[in-house]
Every structure is written in C-alpha cells, then in structure tokens.
Amino acid sequence: AIPFGLEIARRSGASLELVRVYRSVVQPSVIPIPSITDAEGREQAANYLDSVATRSNDGIPISTAVLEGSVAEAIAARGMESG
C-alpha cells in the first residue's frame, strides 16, 4: 500500500501519513505477563514507521502516528481528526 500512497501523493502534491495501530496483547496464563510492555510496543511501532518513512521519502512530506485500539476504529478516528 505504501508505494501506491507515495505515487498518489507525488502526483497530487499531497503529503502522506503513515499509521500503525498498536494493540496491547496479554498472554493468557495464571499471571498475565505481556511479552513486551505497552511502552516498548509503542516504541517499536514508532521506530518501524520512522524507518519506513526515511526509506520511502523522496521529497514527499511524510508524517507518522502510532494509534491504539481497534484497527478500524483508530484509523477512522484519525481520518476524522485530520479532515
């Protein structure tokens, strides 16, 4: 999807926002212990987006955002915020 988004942005002179939705996952066990903390998960998501933005940037303004919650709801809410 990123190559298509970049091409649309390039042709229209628009900017591009890359988002990743982080969802906390708790492993089922007697004592719930997540494999990584929420902070680590958000940081990994942000690092991934930053690396993709750096590799993909050829003059197109690219911003990134780590969202939380249900994927569809988080993306829809972000779209409403952005207009």
pLDDT at 9 > cutoff 80: yes
What is the arithmetic mean of pLDDT over 43-69?
A: 91
What confidence tier does 58 reach under pLDDT thresholds 50, 70, 90?
confident
List, as own/partner pairs, every contact residues 41-48 make where C-beta atoms lie below 8 angstroms and the sequence separation is at least 24, other chains included: 42/66, 42/68, 45/20, 48/20
- What span, in angstroms and rounded, lies between the C-alpha atoms of 44 and 41? 5
What is the arithmetic mean of pLDDT over 57-64?
A: 88
Q: For CA atoms 68, 66, 40, 56, give the dihedral sign.
A: positive
Beta strands in 1-83 (DSSP E): 16-22, 62-68
Q: pTM value? A: 0.77
3-state secondary structure of 40: helix
Give me the pLDDT at residue 27, please.
Answer: 57
Which has more pLDDT, 11 or 29? 11
Give me the pLDDT at residue 59, please.
Answer: 87
